[in-house]
């Protein structure tokens, strides 16, 4: 099926994975530059989900999570978000700044700014990869960070996205360093169907079977 049905065919999913690999590759380079330490990032799983099912596809809905959300506009409008279950967020803080809050009440300005920067780096790199591959203009807004139950964060995203006709792409991501420390999160790209159709048209695979 094509993007207009809310599901992507094999060629379209392959294109999404390629853009993700390029974008996240750029993101890990930026992270290494920011921290002075090498990182790698891999994408074990990519799938499309119905927007109303999103809260049940990205970890335990009852677990506290950290979310970094960024609306996008331009030739392709929509949203990006990076979600980390609480334990994964703690691991990420340990990897990046060498310390971790034990509970959400201990998140200080440094911890919050690190998460905002992670969201900004990854989302911007992903959008730049799309722009370069498809020659589209995309504009990202400053990211917002929230700490809440995963269900509450995803419900907010769904509530915003449902006002438009969108397709939800979920990319499970694993970030790890040379010391074999790792953490898992969920990168979301939620473009409008119109924008996604334009993207695949530019790539020459809009009608691929």
pLDDT digits 0-9 by tens, 76-98: 989 999 999 999 999 999 988 88
The percentage of residues in the chain with a pLDDT greater than 90, rounded to a whole number, is 30
Tokens of 163: 């006002």
H helix intervals, 77-192: 86-97, 109-134, 150-161
54-69 per-position pLDDT tens digit: 888 888 999 999 999 9
Kindly tell me if the per-residue pLDDT of 15 is higher than 90: no
Tokens of 178: 């040379």
Kindly tell me if the per-residue pLDDT of 2 is higher than 60: no
Per-residue confidence (pLDDT) for residue 81, from 0 to 100:
92
Q: Which residue has the tokens 């200080």?
A: 108
Burial profile 138-169: b = 16 or more Cβ within 10 angstroms, e = fewer: bebeebebbbebbbbbbeebbeebeebebbbb
Kindly tell me if the per-residue pLDDT of 105 is higher than 60: yes
- Maximum separation of any 2 CA atoms in the chain, in Å: 51
Domain boundaries, the chain: 3-203
Kindly tell me if the per-residue pLDDT of 52 is higher than 90: no
May I ask the CATH class of domain 3-203?
alpha beta
Distances in Å between the Cα of 50 and the Cα atoms of 8, 162, 208 are: 12, 10, 21
Query: Using CA atoms, how far apart are residues 170 and 187, in angstroms rounded to an integer?
Result: 6
Kindly tell me if the per-residue pLDDT of 3 is higher than 60: no
More confident residue, 13 or 84: 84
pLDDT band with cut points at 50, 70 and 90 for residue 6 = low
Per-residue confidence (pLDDT) for residue 159, from 0 to 100:
87
Entry pTM: 0.87
Q: What are phi and psi of 74, to 5 degrees?
A: 110, -145
Q: What are phi and psi of 164, to 5 degrees?
A: -125, 165
Query: Using CA atoms, how far apart are residues 129 and 22, in angstroms rounded to an integer?
Result: 6
Distances in Å between the Cα of 66 and the Cα atoms of 144, 163, 170, 185 are: 11, 24, 16, 10
The secondary structure element, H or E, covering residue 16 is helix 10-35
Mean pLDDT of 12-40: 82
pLDDT band with cut points at 50, 70 and 90 for residue 209 = very low
pLDDT band with cut points at 50, 70 and 90 for residue 166 = confident
The residue among 188, 169, 170, 172 whose CA lies nearest residue 44 is: 172
């Amino acid at each position: 099926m094509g993007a207009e049905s809310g599901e992507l065919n094999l060629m379209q999913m392959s294109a999404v994975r390629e853009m993700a690999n390029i974008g996240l590759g750029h993101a890990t380079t930026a992270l290494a530059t920011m921290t002075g330490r090498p990182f790698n990032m891999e994408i074990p799983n990519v799938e499309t989900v119905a927007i109303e099912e999103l809260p049940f596809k990205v970890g335990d809905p009852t677990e506290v999570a950290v979310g970094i959300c960024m609306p996008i506009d331009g030739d392709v409008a929509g949203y990006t978000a990076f979600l980390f279950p609480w334990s994964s967020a703690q691991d990420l803080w340990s990897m990046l700044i060498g310390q971790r809050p034990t509970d959400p009440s201990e998140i200080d300005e440094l911890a919050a700014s690190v998460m905002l920067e992670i969201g900004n780096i990854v989302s911007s790199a992903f959008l730049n990869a799309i722009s370069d591959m498809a020659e589209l203009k995309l504009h990202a807004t400053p990211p917002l960070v929230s700490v809440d139950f995963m269900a509450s964060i995803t419900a907010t995203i769904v509530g915003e996205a449902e006002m438009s006709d969108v397709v939800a792409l979920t990319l499970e991501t694993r970030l790890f360093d040379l010391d074999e420390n790792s953490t898992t999160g969920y990168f979301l790209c939620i473009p409008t169907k119109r924008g996604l159709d334009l993207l695949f048209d530019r790539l020459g695979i809009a009608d691929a079977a």
